[in-house]
Amino acid sequence: MYRLLSAVLCLVSLAAGGRMAFAVEDALQGVALVIGNSGYEHLPPLANPKDDARAVEDLLDDLGFETDLSSDRDARRLARDLEDFAEDAAHADVAILYYAGHGIEAGGENFMVPVDADLSALDAASERLVPTSQLIARLRQTVPVVIVLLDACRDNPFPPGAMVRVAPEAEPVAMAPEGLAPPPARGARRLAPAGGEPAPENLGIVLGFAAEPGAAALDGAPGEHSPYAAALLKHLSAGGYPFGDVMTMISEEVYLRTGGRQTPWMNTSLRRELRFGAADPANGEEAAIRGERRRLLLGISAIGQAERRQVEARAEKAGVPMDALFAMLQALGAEAVADPAQLDAVLRDQAERLKSMLAERRALAPSDPEIARLGGLAETALREGALKAAIAINGKAKARVEELHASVDRAEGEIATRRREFAAVYARSAETYALSFDHLHAAEDYGRAYDEVKRSDDDRAVDYLMAMAEALADHGYYKVDAGSLERAVEAYREALDNLPADDRSPRWAKARSGLAMALFTAGEHESGAATLESSASILRETLAELPADGPAEAELRLGSDLGLVLFTLGWRDDGTERLREAEAVLRTARAKAGEVENAELVARVTNRLGTALMYLGQRTGDRTRLLEAADLFRASLAITSREAAASDWASMQNNLAIALGALGEMETGNDKLAEAVAAYLEVLKLNTRDRTPLLWAESQNNVATALHRLAERESSTERYEEAEAALRLALQEITRERSPLKWAAVQENLGIVLRNIGERRSDRSVMEAAVAALRNSLTERTRDRVPGEWGNLQNNLGSALLSLAKAGGPERAYAEAEAAFEAALPQQSRDRAPLEWAKTQNNLGNLHYALASRGGSLAGFEKAAAHYRLSLLENTRDRMPLDWALAMHNLGQTLTEIGKLAPSLPALDEAAAALEASRAVYREAGQAQYETYFEALLAQIELAKLQIQVSEKIRALNAAE
């Protein structure tokens, strides 16, 4: 006798085009067979399937299904149970089969394993094991809706490499190492039962596996349900949701409960919308938690694998549930997920916040029963990822606090305890707001918590005040809100004022660091440096006052932050003083790495030290610093997971590529430049355009830089053209509106590349485009904002204008080029930026050589030679061999012209020596394409010397006569 399902089971038909045609809310007949095999006679037993099956059977019974429970069945009895079930289901509307126990897959068939199976069963699998495909096919002939849930493959009970014969005479096939397999895809066809009776309308099938095909499912701890069974029990009865959504909830529930180690698989082909029962009642805290939990699970299903891996890694590292981190991402919004660098930083901060919050809640047990009840519910909501429900419950707890205020004054002995209790309620609410990225409300509640205890508990008052300051600083950082940053600075100062004057505890150091970093965040958005200087001063003073026996991590963290502030100041300057100071501070901080267990912090300070050294090496031409920087980047990469901290890894890899490129410029060979290109390409594998468009564009710019350096050493324009293409791709994402300074940097690089292409092609229009790109860059890279970069840009503009003038451009281009070079020099003084100064001196030599060549001016050539000699003072052969060779070539050509015009044999001899030295470097670099060119130059010198000698002999003969 079949029972009617007590809850309404709806089937909603979908018409062509996906529009809803009609809904049926009739009470339908449902049957279920629930199987649990635990007590295996010859194979490893399983602890939980019998209990799982019993619980699932109870659930289906409550839902109104006619259920049968089958436990520990051998092959004969299991086959009989399945046969009976198929017969009983013939007149039902919905049939559910749930199986928990051992299961295997071979040859595309999934087999349930009876409790009497042994190794010999594999030689006659169709008789000794139970294939699922035949049962499913039979059920589909008679039942409109078939649901099969296999909680099998908990581990493979047979030896590795075992072979299976479906029948004794069949060829053996390999058994999958673990897991089940999805059924093969087949075309749809209408099935008819035996006897010629008309087939019922087949509305589809739902197949659910506890784990992905080929993966093992977890059995769960003894006495507990398997993760899949627990998820079924929690969500299968979810009313008001389409069944496909219910299965998605179950899948994501298992994923969360197993920390990502198990993800169920499902395949639904329902042609009508299936729902179990009416929607859950919306009233009550537990209902709110349950509803938000289910919405969270559906939201998680849309999150990509890369973001999931980041959440998994951060949750595991901090020892916090993934649920709350996913809920935080959902509250933050999808746009933040697109930037992995921000996502990683956010996850790190929120995971630590959640860890601290959970620990504090365990430490404080409220005495008021209602607050205790609401506090427990709020923590449950938090662990379930139901942040909105947690906020609502905390709101009720706060209302309860307000009710209790009047009684506090009448109970003097309990005031302090109650005040702490009230403060804890506000703090819990604040923590939940912070996880939801509502930092402003979090700050407000921390402030209320502070108000509760400021007269009775000094320690907690300072903690809440610092938490309020941190929330305000976070709001200021994420929203670029100067007002919130000012309030954060005030709160940190007040917290420090409330500490004893001689306090030098870790809390004091944390408050000082928080104050400094709030100032740093504000200073980053200001054109002046006063706020950044204040930040640096506070960090310096804090480091100096740390106790000698204090925790090493505090010293390392403060030193790392001070190095960051100093590096930022140094980047804005056009000298090296701040960068050298940053180097010293970061070296001292990193010396503490051996005393610190926080690998992430060690990697961060190592990367920052490498960056400071790299920038110093680039400005001063110090190859030793660049080599050390590359080693430091490699060291930071060695302790940073590419999978768990992808954005940090990409940043470090990018820095390594920059260092390799700078080193490549200092060598005659191309190995390091090629290595730099390869390193940039690895970064591009992570920074894909669809996932991280801005980082992808920055990587395209960096690849172009490395290609440009290689192109300078080749005779063709192919590498230049590749660099141009990469830069134009970068500009599609790095727009002036989105990132003006980065846009200006790409425009400058484009101008440099176009100038070189124009010179090699002798194409004036390309040179004009180069000048335009460089002038575009100047609109954002102004002297006030970035003086050092502005000087480099003026030098590059001068070079482009000179190339344009020599190609027949407007006459004024010569004067404009000279003005640009002269403007660059004050920002590139020899003591501050020796290599950039040397480049500009070389380019001034080029300008005067070009002007002198037009009129045969001896004075002009002598002026050019003077600039080349100045360039060679810093562009030495040891430091920059190819730049030195180029300057020697330029000097040799100029001396040749001087020797001809003077005339001067010593000048020609020096010219020949310079050209020979230059040729030797190009030979070492393997650039044989210049051999005939140098031969021609040297031949000209020999001819000029011969002409001078002949002229002198003629003059001598004339004088003798």
Q: How far is CA 403 from the centre of its chain?
A: 46
- pLDDT at position 334 is 53
- How distant, in Å, are the alpha carbons of 419, 443, 460, 492 from that of 472? 23, 6, 18, 10
Average pLDDT over residues 43-52: 92
pLDDT tens by residue, 902-955: 999 999 999 999 999 999 998 887 887 888 999 999 999 999 999 999 888 888
Q: How confident is the model at residue 405 (pLDDT cuts 50, 70, 90)?
A: low
Give the integer Cα–Cα distance in Å for 900 and 893: 11
What's the DSSP call for residue 31? E
How far is 58 from 30, CA to CA, in rounded Å?
A: 14
Average pLDDT over residues 754-769: 95
- Average confidence (pLDDT) over 537-546: 94
CATH 3.40.50.1460 residue spans of the chain: 9-113+129-158+177-277
- CA dist 469 and 459 (Å) reads 16
The answer to whether 564 and 528 have CB atoms below 8 angstroms apart is no
Residue at token pair 């920052």? 608
Instruction: Determine contact, residues 635/608, Cβ cutoff 8 Å.
Output: no
**Residue % of the chain over a pLDDT of 90:** 42
Tokens of 60: 């289906």
What kind of fold does domain 9-113+129-158+177-277 have according to CATH? Rossmann fold (3.40.50)
CA atoms within 13 A of residue 733's CA, in its CB half-sphere: 19
Question: What does the mean pLDDT of the chain come to?
Answer: 85
Q: Give the sheet arrangement for strand 204-209, strand by strand.
A: 66-71, 30-36, 94-100, 145-151, 204-209, 265-268
For residue 23, pLDDT over 60 is answered with no
pLDDT (tens digit, 9 = 90+) per residue, 170-214?
A: 788 887 776 565 655 433 333 334 444 444 567 788 999 988 887
Residues 6+ apart with CB under 8 A from 960: none
Q: Quote the CA–CA distance of 824 and 783 in Å, as a whole number.
A: 10
pLDDT over threshold 80, residue 272:
no
Return the higher-pLDDT residue of 345 and 697: 697
Cα angle 530-569-467, degrees, rounded to a multiple of 5: 65
pLDDT (0 to 100) of residue 9: 44
Output the pTM of the full model: 0.61
Per the DSSP assignment, residues forming a β-bridge with 131 are: 111
pLDDT digits (tens, 9 = 90+) for 792-843: 999 999 999 999 999 999 999 999 999 999 999 998 888 878 888 999 999 9
In this model, does residue 293 exceed pLDDT 70? yes
Choose among 41, 136, 29, 2: nearest CA to 82.
Answer: 136
Residues 155-178 as b or e (16 or more Cβ within 10 Å = b)? ebbbeeebebbbeeeeeeeebbeb
Q: Which of 72-76, 268-272, 786-790, 861-865 has the lowest mean pLDDT?
A: 268-272
Q: Is residue 27 very low, low, confident or very high in pLDDT (cuts 50, 70, 90)?
A: low
pLDDT at residue 361 in the model = 64
- Cα 350 to Cα 357: distance, rounded to the nearest angstrom: 10
- Please, which pLDDT band fits residue 401 given cuts at 50, 70 and 90? confident
831, two tokens: 């003591």
**C-alpha–C-alpha distance, residues 393 and 401, integer Å:** 12
Cα–Cα nearest to 803, from 848, 759, 751, 864: 759
Judge whether 468 and 450 are in contact, CB under 8 Å: yes
- Structure confidence at residue 609 as a pLDDT band (50, 70, 90): very high
What pLDDT digit, counting tens, does each position of 485-525 carry?
999 999 999 999 999 999 999 899 999 999 999 999 888 77
Instruction: Tell me if 864 sits within 8 A of 856, measured CB to CB.
Output: no
Per-residue confidence (pLDDT) for residue 360, from 0 to 100: 66
Query: In degrees, to the nearest 5, what angle opens at C-alpha 329 toward C-alphas 326 and 330?
Result: 90
Closest CA to 243 of 265, 269, 263, 225: 269
Give me the pLDDT at residue 273, please: 72
Q: CA of 858: how far to CAs of 848, 849, 903, in Å?
A: 11, 10, 10
pLDDT tens digits, one per residue of 572-591 = 777 788 999 999 999 999 99
Phi, psi (5° rounding) for residue 39? -85, 70
Whether the per-residue pLDDT at 1 is higher than 60: the answer is: no
What confidence tens digit (pLDDT) does each residue in 423-454 have?
899 999 998 888 888 899 999 999 999 999 88
**pLDDT(409) > 60:** no
The pLDDT assigned to 413 comes to 53
CA distances, 139 to each of 96, 134, 204, 273 (Å): 10, 9, 11, 20
Checking if the pLDDT of 858 tops 80, the result is yes
How many angstroms separate the CA atoms of 631 and 603, rounded? Answer: 13
